[in-house]
Amino acid sequence: MYYSVIKEYDIANGPGCRTTLFVSGCRNHCRGCFQPETWDFTYGQPYDEKTQRVLLDSLEEDYVAGLTLLGGDPFEEENQAVLTGLLEAVRERYGQRKSIWAYTGYLYEKDLCKGGRKHTDVTDRMLRCIDVLVDGPFIEEKKDISLQFRGSSNQRILDMKQTLETGCVHLKGAQ
């Protein structure tokens, strides 16, 4: 897996001060995407053990609320195994003290659930680590800069703990 950038002290992609990993690789190719360079699966730098240590260490301070995964798309099949390892390492080291957010252009119940076109042998493990999933493609005609934590009004902010517990999609906060 490759990644384009790691942003420490990010305040735009989830609540509080966060570390954000922008992964490479996306097949959605949304018109108006703010990072089209990340569509390329080999854009940026290879993700390795050193990268993972940097990410884990960046979460150490109490004022860092958590980790956010963006892209590209974290749920492309090529990215899921590596990211599952990262998310499980975050949970092992920090428990629930740090929240984990992920953004995907895919839809949870259509693409990520068992039988979905992006479901792999590690997808369920990955989803169990995530607190909040922002799902749905960016749609330029539905772009709304007044929305918090999403770019277009079709995108949803899902409470993954409740969603997985009940088996029904639970939206987080006011949409």
DSSP-assigned states of every residue in 100-148 = EEEE-SS-IIIIISTTSTT--TTHHHHHHH-SEEEES---GGGB-TTSS
Give tens-digit pLDDT for 1-49. Answer: 999 999 999 999 999 999 999 999 999 999 989 899 999 999 999 999 9
CA distance 46 to 68: 18
CA distance 75 to 113: 12
Q: What pLDDT score was predicted for residue 147?
A: 93
Q: What pLDDT score was predicted for residue 114?
A: 95
CA distance 22 to 3: 6
Segment 144-170 shows an average pLDDT of 94
For residue 172, what pLDDT band results from cuts at 50, 70 and 90?
A: confident
Could you tell me what percent of the chain has a pLDDT over 70?
A: 99
* Domain 2-166 = CATH 3.20.20.70: yes
Q: Are 113 and 119 in contact (CB under 8 A)?
A: yes
pTM to 2 decimals? Answer: 0.95
Give tens-digit pLDDT for 117-149. Answer: 999 999 999 999 999 999 999 999 999 999 999
Peptide bond into 72 cis (omega under 30): yes
SS3 at position 93: helix
Segment 149-169 shows an average pLDDT of 95
Structural domain spans, the chain: 2-166
Whether 174 has a pLDDT exceeding 70, the answer reads no
CA distance 173 to 131: 13
Whether 175 has a pLDDT exceeding 70, the answer reads no
Residue type, 102: A
For residue 92, what pLDDT band results from cuts at 50, 70 and 90?
A: very high
Output phi, psi for 144, to 5 deg: -150, 105
Distances in Å between the alpha carbon of 70 and those of 26, 115, 167?
10, 23, 25
CA distance 138 to 35: 11
For residue 153, what pLDDT band results from cuts at 50, 70 and 90?
A: very high
Structure tokens at 85: 């390892």
